[in-house]
Amino acid sequence: MAKSKTTRKKGKVTKMTSATVVVQGTEDDEEELHQALTEDVISASEDEGGSDDERKHCRLLEAISSLGGKTRKKLTERSEASIQVSEFTVNAEGEGDKINLSDLIGTLDKAPTALTATKKQLKNLEHNHTALDTPLTRKETEQIQRVVAFEKTSKEVSRWQSVVVQNQKAEQLVFPLNQEPSGPKRMEHVVSGWKAQTPLEQEIFNLLHVNQQPLHNPVLTQNEEATMKAMSLEEAKIRRAELQKVRALQSYYEAKARREKKIKSKTYHRVQKKVMRKEYLKRFDEMVKTDPAAALEELKKMELSRMKERMSLKHQNSGKWARSKAIMAKYDDGARKAMQQQLEVNKDLTMKLVIPTNEEDEDEVAEALPDFVNDAEPILDPINPWMRGKLSTEPAAQEESNCLVPPAAGPGDVKAGDGPDLLREEEEQVEETEEEAILRGFEERRKLRRAKDAVEVAPVVMEESEEMPTGKKAEMVTIESSDDDDEVVEISEFTSLYRGLVKDHVEPPVEPPRAGADPCVSQGEGPALLEEGLVRVRTLEDMELLGQDVSACEPAPQTTQTLSTEQTEPQSATKQADGKRKRKKMIDPNEVLTKEAKVIKVPFAPTAVEDVEDTDEQRFIIKEAFAGDDVISDFLKDKKKQESAGMPKVVDLTLPGWGEWGGGGLQPSRSKRKRFRIKVAPPPPRKDQKLLNVILSEKRNSSVAAHQVSQVMFPFTNPAQFERTIRAPVGHTWNTGNAVQKITAPKIVTQLGAIIEPISREELVKGENQAVTGKSNLRSDQGPQQKRRSQQKKKHKHKKN
């Protein structure tokens, strides 16, 4: 191939050279230009020219030699592959030229018509490009065949991979593989070899035959057989387990749904609905982004439902509740308000909107309304909006009222007013949501605290004075007075809540008063409360906020306290402490810790280097942390202990009462004791005797070492793994019979005297099926050892119980 290429190239080259020669002959001016164009060619042509000369020389020599008379034919040596020289030293002219098909019949001169036709045909053939390539050599074809065949075969063989891997991983392999399935055998199989032989058998056979009794009564019906074939036992088990699981899940779900349905609490359903609605909206928003067409559909649906709502006569003040309210409205302010609200809602609903509002929202509000109206009594506690257990509809207005209306009643009155209030509320809302409960709890606690602040400081101090050294830490006492552990947590919760409130307080004018706004706020607060862990740390800021809170609420109690004369002293104390309160609320360790802490002297690091301040600090901290530890003395003690443990002890073999009187209060005689006391010779000096900083253990026993594993062997990666396998005993002394059987099951089981056939293609099909289901027929992956461990665990638990 390469050869032909070179020849073709050279042919071209010769042509070019001839062309240049012509040019040289005619126009000398352009020679240089041409040379520049065909620079690379020219060098080759020069070579050619050289070879031409050589050849001429050869020919000349030949001619001279032939002159000598002897016509000896001499083959010149062919030293170079060149087109001009053939093997027989014949100059092959035009070898590099392309041969046309028509050239082949160029010599045929006779029958010119046929010739032209053929020429034409040949020309067409030339233009036709569908001609086949030259076939590959036999060697190459064979190789291609082989490669293709090998790929095909290896692919086919690779189907066994799953089976092979499965067998490698299997805990147990039972051979022969294709054993007959256990279970009922078909009657035909059993009976097929049997023949009535004895006269009795023949008689019975005849009888049965006469009566047309079915002799071959199949054990399994055709359907049963089909099912047996369709699914193996293992598969069936897997399938059953799956179904069971699904059924269980379904029943759980159903039970849950039923439970939820039974809940009567409106609040619960309202919250639920709200969550649903939120989710729905979220989904809707997503849908708008992802699938606008579907979103439009949804929108239409929403619109439709709203229209339905409009058509129905809900919120028309025609219900039972509305009628009763209408009667009450004359006398009751709250009822009137409720009526008005209802009317507003109705107006909202029946108003034709361009943008469809969520019907559930309105519905929800409508549902919420009755609750609201029912507890609409005049606000008794002007100071605290929390006192009502529910937030009022117009917080801003109430805040105003709180500020404006001076409290008429003293703390005692407040209490008296609150008591029944709370009771009533509790009656009404037994099934409050958690948030509300928490809120109310805070409010109560706060009230209590305030009351304590004002009134009950002294008695509490009296109570707590046993524990606390002085009574001057009044505030601290008030904080810690209640014994509940979760008090602190609740307080912190309260403070956070309060912070939220403070924020609200700061910007009430910004927020326009709207119906149902406050429940929203409370709901919004809810999750935040829930998110707070139980162990929220009380920070200084919290305390400060608490202080603010107290001080903010302070004026009212103060004014009330001017009326009450008895509690002037504690009141004055609080007044006094107003400035220092923050600091006082901090717990003083000196007060709490009765035992004096060890004073630690820590050498300070040189402070000159500024860069290493951080590291120094770190070191300082570490030093401080470990300052109490004296490592060196500990080590020395340890060493001494080891030494003393290594020293032999005197063995006392004295038996009291032998050879003399024995009994209570009688000691064996000294001589006897001396006789029977055996002193053991001191051991050889310790190897670490002279090494101050080293303890060399002398416990190592070389005879034991011979039995110990010195390195981690192959399947294990760390010593702990290895030890774990060794630790689990396998014998029946430590395991139940069944466990032992499972643990000690051999890896390969063969049947005595059974021929084991090579694995058959049916296994492959089975293996593939199992690969799909993802189970092995041989053993589950959980080893018996693990099972045993779990058993033991259970046992331990049992014992503990």
HSE-up of residue 531 (Cα within 13 Å, Cβ side):
7
> Which amino acid, 728?
A
- Taking the least distance from each CB to other proteins, the nearer of 653 and 752 is 752
User: Least distance to other proteins from the beta carbon of 238, Å?
Assistant: 25
Give least dist CB 765 to other proteins, A.
13
Q: At residue 430, what are phi and psi to the nearest 5 degrees?
A: -70, -35
* Residue 755 CB, nearest approach to other proteins (Å): 4
Give the DSSP per-residue string, 51-79.
HHHHHHHHHHHHHHHHHTS-----PPP--
What are the start-end ranges of the H helices in 662-736? 670-676, 702-705, 719-727
SS3 label, residue 550: helix
Nearer to other proteins among residue 39 and residue 156 (C-beta): 156
408 versus 726: smaller Cβ distance to other proteins: 726
- Per-residue burial over 605-622, b if 16 or more Cβ lie within 10 Å, else e, is eeeeeeeeeeebeeeeee
The residues near 58 (Cβ < 8 Å, ≥ 6 apart) are: 76
Burial class (CB in 10 A: 0-12, 13-18, 19+), 411: buried
As measured in angstroms, the least distance from the Cβ of 768 to other proteins is 13
Q: Residue 1 CB, nearest distance to other proteins (Å)?
A: 21
Q: Is the peptide bond preceding residue 176 cis, with omega within 30 degrees of 0?
A: yes
Distance of alpha carbon 653 from alpha carbon 674, whole angstroms:
10
Residue 167 Cβ vs other proteins, minimum distance, rounded to whole Å: 7
Name the token pair of 274. Answer: 């709200």
Rank residues 132 and 157 by Cβ distance to other proteins and give the closer one: 157
Which bin fits 448, alpha (ψ -120 to 50), beta or left (φ > 0)?
alpha
The minimum distance between CB 646 and other proteins, in angstroms, equals 24
Q: How far is the CB of 748 from other proteins (least distance, A)?
A: 6
**Residue number, 66 or 143, with CB nearest to other proteins:** 143
- Chain positions contacting other proteins, by CB under 8 A: 142-143, 145-147, 149-150, 152-154, 156-158, 160, 164, 167, 173, 175, 706-710, 713, 722, 725-727, 729-736, 740-741, 743-746, 748, 750-761, 792, 795, 799
Q: How many Cβ atoms are within 10 Å of 1's Cβ, its own excluded?
A: 5
Give whichever of 75 and 726 is closer to other proteins, judged by the CB atom.
726
Task: Tell me whether strands 651-652 and 748-749 are parallel, antiparallel or unpaired.
Answer: unpaired
What DSSP string describes 358-392? PHHHHHHHHHHHHHHHHT-PPP--SS-GGGGSS--
Query: In this complex, which beta carbon is closest to other proteins, that of residue 465 or of residue 741?
Result: 741
For residue 786, the minimal CB distance to other proteins (Å) is: 15
Work out how close the CB of 771 gets to other proteins at its nearest, in angstroms, rounded to a whole number.
Answer: 15
Q: Which is nearer to other proteins, 222 or 708 (CB)?
A: 708
Only one residue has tokens 């060619």, namely 41
* For other proteins, the closer CB: 174 or 573: 174
Bridge partners for 173 per DSSP: 748
CB closer to other proteins, 550 vs 740: 740
**Nearest approach, Cβ of 752 to other proteins (angstroms)?**
7
CA distance 14 to 96: 10
Cβ distance to other proteins smaller for residue 380 or 730: 730
Rounded CA separation 153/583 (Å) = 87
